[in-house]
Structures are given as structure tokens and as C-alpha cells.
Amino acid sequence: MEYPARRLRRLRRTPVIRDLVAETTLDAGDLVAPLFVAEGIDAPRPIASLPGHGQHTRDSLRAEVDRLVSLGIRSVILFGLPAQKDATGTSAWDPEGIVQVALRDLRDDHGDGLCLMADLCLDEYTDHGHCGVLLDDGTVDNDATIDLYARIAVAQADAGADVVAPSGMMDGQVAAIRASLEAIGHHDTIILAYAAKYATALYGPFRDAVDVTIQSGDRRGYQQDLRNRREAAAEVLADVAEGADMVMVKPALSCLDIIADVAQLVDVPIAAYHVSGEYSMVKAAAERGWIDGTAVGIEHLTAIRRAGADLVLTYFAAEVAEALGG
């Protein structure tokens, strides 16, 4: 008897046939590796809650990027850990700040063979752990903050960043950054806006990685409420209207519906951040022998791509690229 669905089984019969008709692809070129570079340390420091990752020195960062490039990964995003923090995060826009000097190192090493992205925010640089300047009542001063974001963007672009990635979810951040870049001739600098960034408990290991402790309050007043779906569309459209070249959904795996919505909404490239908690849960289960961690990582990233993401920021980048054969 011939079953109507038999055609689907025929198309799954061998690995070659499955590859031939696969709707979604995943390779190293789709991945962006997040990297942490610290000021004032003599050797890399492992991050216990992010197995396989560490806070890098300038030299160890260069070596790690060489390794990533050898695996076929051509894009990285840098997060900085300054030696000193203050209320306004002044080292974030210092030309000799840790991210700026690291960008220059990597540009010297790889030229245009590497896409250099820089996280653009203040939380790693402020002593209070928030993403912006605080008012007396402890809330973020949006307009004062975006003025500082504009200064950071210029410093990062001057240092060689191809992409600046504002992640603070401030109103008007993209417009302020675009105006500052255009004013000094950085017409080709790409803005990747963290447009739909949700407040979630999944960021814990990342905060360990960048030594960030929120001294009071939380970020729920400026990051999105995880219970809401429609507001993501409004945030994304606003950032594109202000001049974003790409938009980000974060976190990725728990926001597959948002990624799919955004893919139908805009015609700019869509990034998704497979965040630290999503990675660390897999690694913890794999350490106990409950799952094949690499296989699950590939499944996660494939699902994110299937939902509509064009590129994925992930701590699995090196491991998955190696498993895929570079």
C-alpha cells in the first residue's frame, strides 16, 4: 500500500538526500563568537559559569581569534573589562580603553578578513552595573546615556570596528549613534541594534564573565518584558527607522517566536544571541553525561536559524564550527 506521506520518508532515506533537501543550513560563517578582554591581568582567567571561555589578555585574545579563524569563524564581538569603573563608565569611550586597543590589535592581525563587532553599552564600565547614567532616584537618564553611547560608537569605529552593537535598549540610541558616526565620516560603520532584548534570568553567567553586579534595582524598566510579544515589533521598527543596519533578538532559544515575527517584519539581517544561560545549561547537563552537549548545541543553533536568524552570536561557535568541519 502506498501511503501519501511516503514521499517524505523517501526524502529522508540517506544522509546525502537529507542534506540535499534540507531547508536550513548551519556553518561557521553563520556564527559570531563573543569574546571577553580584560585590562590589567597577566594571564587568561577561566569563567567557571561559562565552561570553555575566559577573560582574555590582549595576547591571549589574539591567539584565540587566530584559532577561531582557522575554524572558519570570521566574525567576533568584543566585551571589555576595564581595570577601573566609575558612575558614567568613562573608559568605554577612552581611545586607550581595553576594547579599543583590542580592536586595533585584531585589525592589524586580520585586516578585512575578520568582521570585528564591539558591544556598545556602559554596564561593564559603570560601578553601579546599569547600562546608563543614573538619576538621583536610581533610574536611568535616557538622554544623557545616549549622548555617551554616541561617544563610544566613535571610539569603536576609530579603532577599527566594522559593527557597533548598542545593547542598552535606550530610546533613540540608534539615531544618536548614526548621527555621531556620520558627522565624522564613518559612513560605512554598521549598527547592529539590540532591538528586542528581553529582561531574563538567562544572563547570569554573562554577568560573571564581565564582572557586573547591579548595585540596586534591575533592568526591567528598559529591557523588554518577557511576557510581551507585540512590543518587539515596535522596538525593531523604531530601530530600523533610526538607521539600524541589522537588528538583534536576545535571548534566542526562548524567543524563537520573536525571531520568526521579526523575519516577516523587516528586510534587514537578523541576529540572535544564544545567551550565556542557554549555553551553560547545555554544558552543565553534558558534564553529567545526560546529553551530548555538542549535538544539542548544533540543534539549538539550527533551530535559531530555522526560525529566521541570519547570524547567531553563540558561545558554542568554536565547538560547533569544529564539529561541522570548519
Query: Angle, nearest 10°, between helix axes 98-110 and 58-70?
Result: 40
CATH superfamily of 27-248: Aldolase class I (3.20.20.70)
Per the model's pLDDT, the better-predicted residue between 115 and 125 turns out to be 115
Confidence of residue 138 (pLDDT cuts 50, 70, 90): confident
Taking the C-alpha atoms of 97, 102, 108 and 114 in order, what is their torsion angle to the nearest 10 degrees?
-130
Beta strand ranges found along the chain (DSSP E)? 31-38, 45-46, 54-56, 75-81, 115-120, 163-166, 190-197, 246-250, 270-274, 311-314
Active-site residue among 56, 104, 197, 219?
A: 197
Instruction: Report the candidate in 277, 280, 274 with the shortest Cα–Cα distance to residue 30.
Output: 274
Active-site residue among 53, 250, 274, 305?
A: 250
85 is catalytic: no
Contact (Cβ atoms closer than 8 angstroms) between residue 133 and residue 85: no
pLDDT digits (tens, 9 = 90+) for 220-261: 777 889 999 999 999 999 999 999 999 999 999 999 999 999
Which pLDDT does position 169 carry in this prediction?
83
Confidence of residue 212 (pLDDT cuts 50, 70, 90): low
283 is catalytic: no
Question: If you search the block for the grid coordinates 553586579, which residue do you land on?
Answer: 213
CB neighbours of residue 51 within 10 Å: 18
Which pLDDT does position 218 carry in this prediction?
67
Span 132-142, average pLDDT: 85
pLDDT digits (tens, 9 = 90+) for 69-93: 999 999 999 999 999 888 888 999 9
pLDDT digits (tens, 9 = 90+) for 259-315: 999 999 999 999 999 999 999 999 999 999 999 999 999 999 999 999 999 999 999
Contact (Cβ atoms closer than 8 angstroms) between residue 101 and residue 56: no
% of residues, the chain, pLDDT over 70: 97
Contact (Cβ atoms closer than 8 angstroms) between residue 79 and residue 37: yes
CB neighbours of residue 180 within 10 Å: 20
Which pLDDT does position 301 carry in this prediction?
98
Q: Where are the domains of the chain?
A: 27-248
Contact (Cβ atoms closer than 8 angstroms) between residue 21 and residue 64: no
Task: Look at the chain and count its residues.
Answer: 326
209: Cβ contacts below 8 Å, ≥ 6 apart: 36, 47, 49, 50, 53, 55, 79, 276
Residue 153 CA to residue 173 CA, distance in Å, equals: 11
pLDDT digits (tens, 9 = 90+) for 146-190: 999 999 999 999 999 999 999 888 899 999 999 999 999 999 999
Global pTM?
0.94
pLDDT(1) > 80: no
